Structure 1
Amino acid sequence: MSGPSQPAALDHGHAVPAMPAPLTSWLVPGATCWRQERAARVAILHDGAAYFAASREAILKARSSVMLIGWSFDPRVRLTPQGEADRETMADLLRRLKATRPEVEIHLLIWDMPWPISAGTDLKPDDIRALLGPGIEYVVDSRLPFGACQHQKVLVVDDRIAFSGGSDFEVNRWDTPAHRDRDPLRRLPTGEDYPPRHDVMMLVDGAAASALSDLARQRWQEATSGRLASAVSGPVGTDARGPSRPDSSLSDSSLPDPWPDSVTPLFEDVTVGLARTIPARETGEAIRENEALYLLAIRRASRHIYLENQYFTSPLIAEALAARLAEPEGPDIVVVLAKRSPNGFDRITMDGARRGLIARLRAADRYGRLRILAPHTLQGRPILVHSKVAIFDDRMLRVGSTNLNNRSMGYDTECDLALETLDGDAGDARRIAIARVRNGLIAHHAGCPRDAFEEAVREKGLLAAIDDPALVPARRLCSLVASRRGPVVRLVEAFHLGDPVGLVDAWRPWRRHRALARRREGANAVAGQQPVRAGAAQPAEAS
């Protein structure tokens, strides 16, 4: 199936014939997403400074509840280090909220990190609880299969607005879009500086926020065996999709709007899809909606595929991209990654596996439509790309926690939000907005004005604009070249060590190739629009 029809002015470098037939949604509940819900407002928060400031505003407006589901959490993080509240930490903020509004329920669920990952932190759970003080529930999630991690990053305020994306409240997450080489505000509690970091979050309201609230409450219940009351009308129940309410769009209108005043919505009155990854248990199959949506969108995109991600090791994603590169008229593919991971373990496992993947994709790029790039600061310091963003044509925008590796597709818990533009007059403005997000991200990484980059895209196409050294200096957005692979890296790559497909191969890497073969079968069924539930093709995951 080809991509959406649109006016020539939105064509961005490719001629696409008009398609009179209505488009079929890529978001299919039970296959490529969990649920689809409406949002009156959707915003994209670019980098940690924007997310931290917006979350602080929202938390201060809370009247009923604050729920945080995360991978990591440090209560010493300063949300606005450059402002008047520069000395206020997250712990200070939550304590102040609880003191002024004791009726507000505050629940934080964070992954119970095993050693050696936890060896890098100087705060233990009891230390965090002591900093937060009484009345604030802080729980570590230890109920997942051993080795799987709680990687969802969701903040919900009053069940009415919710943030989801790639960022945690950690002391090394704050940065501005300037990504200065040396920023005095980019400091750890020890006073040491940390590298520039790029991340993206999505903010939604309405029924989409209520759905994220449902997901967070389900995670809390699974981790603690306790159920949380809701600020949204109707009791929280369960159905085949998970938690549900009689009408998840209803909320207590007497409460003030917690939407941050400083945030302007990019989209209004849109449908948002929620896609999950949940690992298999002994009693059930894995949920792989994130993988299914990625593969379907890659196979259906007609003009552009834009990916920026922390990791890039998934063989199934690579195979889908290689198949598109083999097509004479396939889409342009742009991938933005960090030059290298920040720690030794990831450099051996994730960076090691991606070397071979990049080499294979470059070999498959017979028509010259692939760009794999790494952003740098003005003086050439690598920027850590931590975001998980995908944009397909100017049809789908996706932001979440899902990395492009095996474990994010089936072994860890993940949550992504995706909005899609189909037909109708309102779709024209939304397509423009989606294209502007993509062009704005590339211009940001290149250090050039977005308007100038967008003009070049209109005149000569996306890849020609990226290849223009006057717009995209090589020192700012460098081509990422796969380096030579030694014997250790080849071993890591062969068995995807540290990157399991699911429960069945988590501690048996010799089973990994067979597990990937089963995933190919299931992924092909979903991409072929077979009416199967994501994850249904791997019953052996529960063994």
Structure 2
Amino acid sequence: MGLFDLRRNCWRIERADKAAVIIDACDYYRVIRQAMLDARHQVLIIGWDFDPRIKLDRTDEANKDETLGRFLLGLAKAKPHVAIKILKWDFGALKTLFRGSAIWWIIRLALTRSITFKLDGAHPKGCSHHQKIVVIDDCFAVCGGIDMTGDRWDRPAHADHDPDRLRPNGRPYGPWHDATSAVTGPLARALGELARERWKRATGETLQPVTEAPEIWPEGLEAHLIGAEFAIARTRADYRGHGEIRESEALFLDMIAAAQRFIYAESQYFASPRIAAAIRARMMEDDPPEFVLVNPIHADGWLEQVAMDATRVRLGQIIGRSDTHNRFRIFTPKTDGGEDIYVHAKVMVVDDRILRVGSSNMNNRSLGLDSECDVAMEAAGDDEMKVIAGLRTRLMAEHLGVEESAVREQFAATGSLLATIDALGHSGRTLQLLEFEKPSEGQKFIADTELLDPKNPDQMFEGFTRRSLFQGLRARFPRRRRQALSSA
């Protein structure tokens, strides 16, 4: 029996005529620019953030003055019949007011006849629209973790001082690791349906599907999979007659339960008690699978650090007490010079058999509050398993600063992710074992009450004494054990 269960851990299962996983925004921005140039009818951008001042193509051959805003204006002029629709989270739009010329670019785009710019406020207070989807002519779609905004672009080398890693104001920012997926065929059409549904909920406008358009596949983009079946998993909070959806959470739990040998995952956060409970249950088995989690060393922004970093410590301690086989590890990537690489990717690989890419993080918000969308596939045979293994190998090689062949050979010899990382780890560019810093009493309070990472909209307005990080673990722990953990 397969992993995917319609209406429980996924919304749709559709074929992708072609599919590729794109690692890091350098390649993604080049790909999406080319795809938009090939549009004949409609470009639909659904995102958490959008900054028209960023540059998409930063190759030597690129027009160095071409920002995203200039590109879209040029596309609208060259192809006035192509409808360009942009939807951005409404609260996040407040940041635009403090981004210099960004607001004027937004106004300029919005005043262009074929460009429509809207804000998405179709969610409960405190929730966000977090999907990152682009659909072109209903025949090419992108779904993953990368927004078209600042501080996202980087090359896989994640150099300490990349001269192109600059904000629109010219200031440099740190190394950034990310991932997304590109697909065609029925899967792209299904993502188009999801994007149009989101557009209607946010704006009230009904967009018609594109029924006749030639296939788009940007030049130079390698198709990793041909004809693979993918599931689409969503998160959505209950709001104005549209019920709660927790497919993303269910799929996480089912993927953890399905692992036989290992799980390799990249996530911006690790703060979900339910996911932690599922991992802990596997670690208590006689022969548990390995679990390698790649996280940034700290969350982005002081508020997120207070909430997410402290919770990660608390959950890591709980799992560690039950991990008698030493199979669970959290690593953080470093540059050649020892600088921290920020991990924004949301990728998960199980046994080189199951692949997942999307916008969902391993925290409460992604699993119950914010709008999310992930795509996942279960290999139908050896060829697809080799593709998944190749993607996992590439990710590990990128983080370890070694050739992919070194990862393949070491993993073939040991059969172990942890042994491979231990053997290939070195100073400089590498995966470093995350050392937990003991949280302060204030951080422990925020983590244990889930003050900044509630599980659902109602919890945001509950009294603190009615909430506990350990509620998500109650089914896994006897009462005496819970009391001990709460005082840890």
**Which bin holds the TM-score, normalised by the shorter protein?**
over 0.9
CA distance in 1: counterparts of 2:50 and 2:320, whole angstroms: 38
Aligned equivalent of 1:460: 414
Q: Is the 8 A contact 2:131 2:359 kept in 1?
A: yes
Pick which of 289-298 and 430-439 moved more: 430-439
Q: CA deviation at 1:119?
A: 7.1
Q: CA deviation at 1:362?
A: 2.0
Pick which of 217-226 and 473-482 moved more: 473-482
Q: Which amino acid counterpart does residue 54 of structure 1 have in structure 2?
A: V
Q: Does residue 32 of structure 2 align to residue 55 of structure 1? A: yes
Pick which of 501-510 and 284-293 moved more: 501-510
Pick which of 73-82 and 507-516 moved more: 507-516
Aligned to 1:201, the other structure's residue is in SS state strand
Q: CA deviation at 1:116?
A: 7.8
Change (3 A) 1:185 1:132: farther
Cα shift readout 1:35-88 (whole Å, capped 9, x = no counterpart): 001111000101000110000000000000000000000001100122322321
The match for 2:434 among 476, 480, 483 is 480
Aligned equivalent of 1:33: 10
Superposed, which structure 2 residues align to 1:290-369 within 5 Å? 290-369=248-327
CA distance in 2: counterparts of 1:274 and 1:512, whole angstroms: 34
Change (3 A) 1:464 1:313: closer
Q: Is the 8 A contact 2:145 2:359 kept in 1?
A: yes
CA distance in 2: counterparts of 1:184 and 1:117, whole angstroms: 25
Q: CA deviation at 1:517?
A: 5.0
Aligned equivalent of 2:158: 179
Superposed, which structure 2 residues align to 1:491-506 within 5 Å? 491-506=445-460
The match for 2:393 among 439, 442, 445 is 439
Aligned equivalent of 1:168: 147
Q: Which amino acid counterpart does residue 421 of structure 1 have in structure 2?
A: A
Aligned equivalent of 2:75: 97
Q: CA deviation at 1:143?
A: 2.1
Change (3 A) 1:396 1:36: same
Change (3 A) 1:284 1:64: closer
Cα shift readout 1:368-423 (whole Å, capped 9, x = no counterpart): 1112100010000000000000111121100000010001001000000001114x
Q: CA deviation at 1:147?
A: 0.8
Q: Is the 8 A contact 2:21 2:181 kept in 1?
A: yes
CA distance in 1: counterparts of 2:98 and 2:292, whole angstroms: 33
CA distance in 1: counterparts of 2:440 and 2:175, whole angstroms: 29
Change (3 A) 1:443 1:309: same
Aligned equivalent of 1:20: none
Q: Which amino acid counterpart does residue 16 of structure 2 have in structure 1?
A: A
Aligned equivalent of 1:386: 344
The match for 2:108 among 130, 144, 147 is 130
CA distance in 2: counterparts of 1:281 and 1:139, whole angstroms: 19
Identity %: 36
Q: CA deviation at 1:118?
A: 6.3
Change (3 A) 1:124 1:507: farther
How many aligned positions are there? 473
Aligned to 1:439, the other structure's residue is in SS state helix
Change (3 A) 1:86 1:491: same
Q: CA deviation at 1:466?
A: 3.0
Q: Does residue 361 of structure 2 align to residue 403 of structure 1? A: yes
Cα shift readout 1:246-295 (whole Å, capped 9, x = no counterpart): xxxxxx2xx44321011010000111110000111253431000000000
Superposed, which structure 2 residues align to 1:51-130 within 5 Å? 51-82=28-59, 83-113=61-91, 121-122=99-100, 127-130=105-108
Q: CA deviation at 1:356?
A: 1.0
Change (3 A) 1:517 1:330: same
Change (3 A) 1:516 1:157: farther
Q: Is the 8 A contact 1:32 1:293 kept in 2?
A: yes
Cα shift readout 1:147-176 (whole Å, capped 9, x = no counterpart): 100000000111101001001001211100
Q: CA deviation at 1:367?
A: 0.3
Q: Is the 8 A contact 2:449 2:468 kept in 1?
A: no
Cα shift readout 1:72-123 (whole Å, capped 9, x = no counterpart): 0000110012232232111111111111111101100000126986676446
CA distance in 2: counterparts of 1:479 and 1:138, whole angstroms: 43
Change (3 A) 1:413 1:366: same
CA distance in 1: counterparts of 2:308 and 2:387, whole angstroms: 33
Q: Does residue 390 of structure 2 align to residue 449 of structure 1? A: no
CA distance in 2: counterparts of 1:219 and 1:467, whole angstroms: 41
Aligned to 1:159, the other structure's residue is in SS state coil
Q: CA deviation at 1:485?
A: 1.4
Q: Is the 8 A contact 1:94 1:132 kept in 2?
A: no
Q: Which amino acid counterpart does residue 334 of structure 2 have in structure 1?
A: H
Aligned equivalent of 2:481: none
Q: Which amino acid counterpart does residue 215 of structure 2 have in structure 1?
A: D
Change (3 A) 1:124 1:448: closer
Aligned equivalent of 1:208: 187
Unaligned 5+ residue runs, structure 2?
477-488
Change (3 A) 1:456 1:53: same
CA distance in 2: counterparts of 1:516 and 1:456, whole angstroms: 39
Cα shift readout 1:483-522 (whole Å, capped 9, x = no counterpart): 111111111111112111112212225376479858988x
Aligned equivalent of 2:247: 289
Q: Does residue 19 of structure 2 align to residue 42 of structure 1? A: yes
Aligned to 1:468, the other structure's residue is in SS state helix
